[in-house]
Structure 1
Amino acid sequence: MDEIYDLIIIGAGTAGLVTAQYACRSNLNALVIEEKMEGGQATLIPLLENYPGFPEPIDGFTFAEKMKLQAVQFGSKFLSGKVTGLGKKKHLFSVSVEKSDDSIQTLEAKTVVLATGAAHRQLGIPGEFEFYGKGVSYCANCDGPLFRNKHIVIIGGGDAACDEAGFLAHLTDRVTIIHRKHTFRAQRALAERTLKNPHIHVRFNSVVTAINGSKNENGHEKLTSITVENVHTGAAEEVACDAVFISIGMDPRTELAALARKDEAGYLITDENMQTSIPGLFAAGDLRAKPFRQLVTAAADGAIAARSAAEYIDIHIRGT
């Protein structure tokens, strides 16, 4: 534990990579720790078409590679491993990292930015993984415009599902919501607005048991239908559609910040500077409590978190 970093960034999705870039531009000694692959969920996007500065769509893997390259060029360091512990003693954080050889490395830093994101809840049904990016999506704002004037299915019954249905209903007049209960879980006003929308058809007491597809003339797989089952009768039918948006919630990855303040859904609460309730611990990206989760908002979070970390060090560590 000889080297003390100015900043350790846990997570190398968009928020983490932008944090690293801005931190090093502020002359901070920054380290990024990532358990899996740099880029996070962005790497799973087949064609990214709504990020500023890319008029031609770019695949998510290439996008993530470019972000990491920028961070490295500015001087950021990277470490592969799983963070198993995060603690604080006086003015220093300790970060325990389990490496690929099962050894544990303990690092110290003056500040930490959590950018571990949130995981989309999955249905776990046949076809969900196979047709991800080929008609299956977890983000209506991201991918909805790709299916303009098509038949779109949304699975879910909470606020997010109803909000997304309303958004998609501006793009097509054929939106179907499938929900396993007999009524929405969404707020009453939102539920009523959804039910009154002439472009939205709702199927209650129903579950999707399979997502089906076929290969087109070019040999590419494409989603073509879903299998829907009535929860009471067990009757099943195949419903033709062009896209399926799964909106059954997300699980923020906040276990490393057990003592930090969270909202009712478990997301970390920060101020406008990305500061959590623990001094020197910042959060950026999808694990934050915020109304809109996109790559561009994750990038903004990262830039602000890096600046805030630099200011925190100046004020509370260096005493300047």
Structure 2
Amino acid sequence: MSTQAGAGDHRGMPVPDGVEGERIDAAIARMFGLSRTRAAEIISEGNVAVDGGSVGKSDRLEAGTWLEVTLPPPPEPPSARAEPVPGMGIVHEDADIVVVDKPVGVVAHPTVGWTGPTVLQGLLASGIELATSGAAERQGIVHRLDANTSGLMVLAKSEAAYSVLKRAFKERVVDKVYHSLVQGHPDPLRGTVDAPIDRHPAGDGRWAVVAGGRPSVTHYETLEAFRAASLLEIKLETGRTHQIRVHMAALRHPCVGDHLYGADPALAERLGVRRQWLHAMRLGFEHPTRGHRVEFESTYPDDLAAALHLLRED
């Protein structure tokens, strides 16, 4: 394996046994953690060769051949700029932490390809200074919510709080409670999903229950049952990407409105739901510098509350 300075990450290797016979775009995606689309782009740009020759994305890899891949350098992540975020409320603030109620359509921090609002932008616009530990574009971030998941997030203002909170999330001593409206009626009405999660083999941005993935544990309990759906209270032990959405889909009870994971679009349309019905309801942890237990609670935003109202009337 070698690296060419200034020309991306250049790698050469024999074709691994695990991808022999696979399409080249699928193999490249799996080997380097890319989407199939990005892998195909790299191939079409001439950055993949087999035995020194050019290849097409649908060609198959053969044992005994030499594979060369040049991965372009990743683009620089954008930096956060101060910009008000409508609808984002500050639930609590002190010298060490700030707890926000994140609205739908907002991500935690700037990322490549995202042009919408971020929690960091909103806090900067409010004059709130965050811890500078970690990457510059993720200052103060100790956990995240999906763009279309609303609810509570805590961020660190002091460096001491950042260190303590990062460790608390890693050691699973933070209470994270969500409410989700899922399709159908889980059986049993309460239970635990203990199933590893990793990127979906399709390489299309989804995550999935995959043997050998990262350990992931979700506890759920039914709060209300309706004709076509159930309101669940969900507690997370781990915090994997899309964990609740993946585990509920694995139970064949996807979050209402979660079309990425197989939700029924007709039900979402009837309830006026334009995103997954998932809300970070409560957040509890030991204060990082004062030592006492703190707990914060949110209320349903208007779109989720309206969907529940329709179900209760039905």
The answer to whether the superposition gives a TM-score over 0.5 is no
TM-score class, shorter-chain normalisation, is under 0.3
TM-score, length basis structure 1: 0.26
Larger RCO (alpha carbons 8 Å, 6+ apart): 1
